[in-house]
Structure 1
């Protein structure tokens, strides 16, 4: 093969990687990538560093192998080496492994990812990860324009706009209960920033992806490469910071990243369920919580009746535009009044209601009785779906502890309070027996009874504890 022919194939291979994975991922991991010796059994690729080599082999094996076969011909094994030729092999892609990865990805792919139909506009928080890479695909449907605003979230939206404009604090932290719109604003910030500054890099990372990458980097001794990768971005967005409890190394890396960004004027947008003070109480490092406190810390409140009605009306307008069916305003008012938990659950009930309308197939007018029946069935169904496991998991998350902590014999004050909160919440939110509740925390029914009594007392006398109890109740719609 002539040198010119090989360069043509390499250029096509690189273009194929860029088209398949997108410019951001290509720039982060593949650029530059070079080809060494190859034949039908073995090919050698050279990545820019050890981190890139590891990510290519573990996360992008399917695409790399398929594109190589397309442009260079079939091959059994692809070696991914670090740096220039002569450096020791870092990772291997085998044909059978790439095939298994492709099969697993297809089986695990959500239905909406397979469908080519565009997603409807919504407030639902649904970011889709791309190949489990550190940078995730942003939900393009969540924008500032379709984020409904009132007094419960106006400051959060304004702070997000300032992040985009570059006039905000070095770190902007949005916090509030699940389903209140935090992730919508994070996605909206990425979408608007990308629209205004198309040449700049955005990194939207989640708890799972950051923990995984820090762990991998520590094991592979490539933490410097990871830091360089994180530094090479213009806007950093991080979700679910409260889940970092117990991940000291990951907390350290995030705090260091914030410190490196500040003198460079690079904005950071973070979201979590708890205030900075509450994060500190649950075990998030003082270094990280102080960074959040030192920026703009904005709470997103529970959607009130006015905001819920705006969301319902907007959804109804979109439904009418799609189907030609108008929903009477009194029914929309009823839905907004009855569904008072979170934006996410409100949207879920609206979709259920709209499907029910379409399923009627114009079977007469939409009556008040029919609406009440449909809505009551949905609400009853949601209540029935609240299990001990749901309450147990959310209580642990709210208090920043693990399931093992709650079941342990430790008598640390924060764990005792978390167990008491779980017992009270489980009693209020489910129909389970005291014995069943006790089994979740490895305690007997008399301990559960005492915990419920104590929780009721502390919920009125301890402001922080009472707030967490309300957070649990609000989440499950009590």
Structure 2
């Protein structure tokens, strides 16, 4: 009785149910003390209490579903995540997950790629889409740094089990920058148990990383193995068309409309990082507003110099070779070599033609930059390109495009 009073309060009462016959439905409730008790024919079941003031011992804390704050950025949506060849697979997988989280073959989904390519945006866009379609689901976005700090604190407070239980409440768990788990043995161990529990219960796991799972050095093999269970989708540097679409979308949100030549100039020169595109736009708006300057090509060049590490003062042979080699997808060394493969020959001849037209270098100097070829070879290459342009519209367009890229580059005088 002492224990019962401690647990249920002073007003607690015991009722004894005496069954006279197994087949009998009615029971008699007899109070356990001398106080008069009310006789009832109703059957007592766990969860029923005599008064509202008495705590019900059968209601176990934690059984009722707790709604978790998702910590998602509401601006990271599929609607403003521009699709291109660079991200189509990852974006399509994300949309499929949002329709049926935890029940696709994309579990876990590992999104990997270099800095500034939109990994966090895509991961949170999935979370926001799930939240809209499945409002009752628990979704949580957490950085690996925050997760690690939580584990450190839980160890100090002897509350690791509480933390693990908290994470196991999630229907969708998004962990950003998973590579920072490397060489953190205890954190990896705890994450391993969280991962297993969620995956076994068909809960969706989304991870981002700056490298594919196989290259996660300092990570336990059992974790790497589990990261490979689902889909690993890489985000590549966006091509020119995608960069243009991204930049124009960002301009539209800022209420800005720049001339086409300025937009092209920016997107030709900021090639690998979407964040840098955003940075250029913000800097242009700030410079224009604070200094009351019109956004023209000169101001744009000034701004972009803060985002590009190496700026040459003139067009160089090396730059032309790199640009042409990249366009034709051939190694630069091949342009200086002796190979006679058609793709390489065309790229080499075009490089010589553009070098002669745009640099003012002598024929001898041009030849030396292409594997020590003599001036007559340079003349022949330039004439070949000139003649082909008169009959080959595709080649003519290619030359025009390459020339435009060179002139729009920061290497222009």
1:87-106 to structure 2, matched below 5 A, reads none
Across the aligned residues of Structure 1 and Structure 2, the Cα RMSD in angstroms comes to: 2.4
Alignment check: 8 A CA contact 1:246 1:283 kept = yes
C-alpha distance in 2 between matches for 1:294 and 1:140: 29
- 1:156 positional shift: 0.9
C-alpha distance in 1 between matches for 2:199 and 2:107: 6
The question of 1:295 aligning with 2:224 is answered no
Alignment check: 8 A CA contact 1:148 1:311 kept = yes
C-alpha distance in 1 between matches for 2:185 and 2:196: 16
C-alpha distance in 1 between matches for 2:214 and 2:162: 32
Counterpart of 2:268 (choices 337, 359, 382) is 337
**Displacement over 4 Å in runs of 4+:** none
Choose between structure 1 and 2 for higher RCO, CA contacts under 8 A separated by at least 6 residues: 2
Q: What's 1:195 paired with?
A: 132
Q: Gaps spanning 5+ residues in structure 1: where?
A: 1-47, 50-133, 385-478
- 1:139 positional shift: 1.0
Counterpart of 2:199 (choices 262, 267, 292) is 262
CA-to-partner distance for each residue in 1:239-258, whole Å, 9 max, x for gaps? 11100111112112222222
Cα distance change, pair 374–267 in 1 and its aligned pair in 2 (3 A)? closer
Alignment check: 8 A CA contact 1:135 1:204 kept = no
Q: Gaps spanning 5+ residues in structure 2: where?
A: 1-60, 63-67, 312-413
1:38-437 to structure 2, matched below 5 A, reads 137-166=71-100, 167-279=104-216, 282-319=217-254, 321=255, 326-359=257-290, 361=292, 366-376=295-305, 378-379=306-307
C-alpha distance in 1 between matches for 2:296 and 2:117: 31
- 1:379 positional shift: 3.1
CA-to-partner distance for each residue in 1:263-321, whole Å, 9 max, x for gaps? 32111111011111101xx11000110011111111111122121111111122223x3
TM-score between both structures, scaled by the size of structure 2: 0.55
- 1:371 positional shift: 2.9
Which structure dedicates a bigger proportion of its chain to helix?
1
Cα distance change, pair 367–205 in 1 and its aligned pair in 2 (3 A)? closer
- 1:182 positional shift: 0.3
3-state SS, counterpart of residue 208 of structure 2: strand
Alignment check: 8 A CA contact 2:72 2:140 kept = no
C-alpha distance in 2 between matches for 1:290 and 1:338: 39
TM-score between both structures, scaled by the size of structure 1: 0.48
Cα distance change, pair 249–356 in 1 and its aligned pair in 2 (3 A)? same
Cα distance change, pair 221–351 in 1 and its aligned pair in 2 (3 A)? same
Structure showing greater Rg = 2
- Number of residue pairs aligned between Structure 1 and Structure 2: 244
C-alpha distance in 2 between matches for 1:302 and 1:207: 24
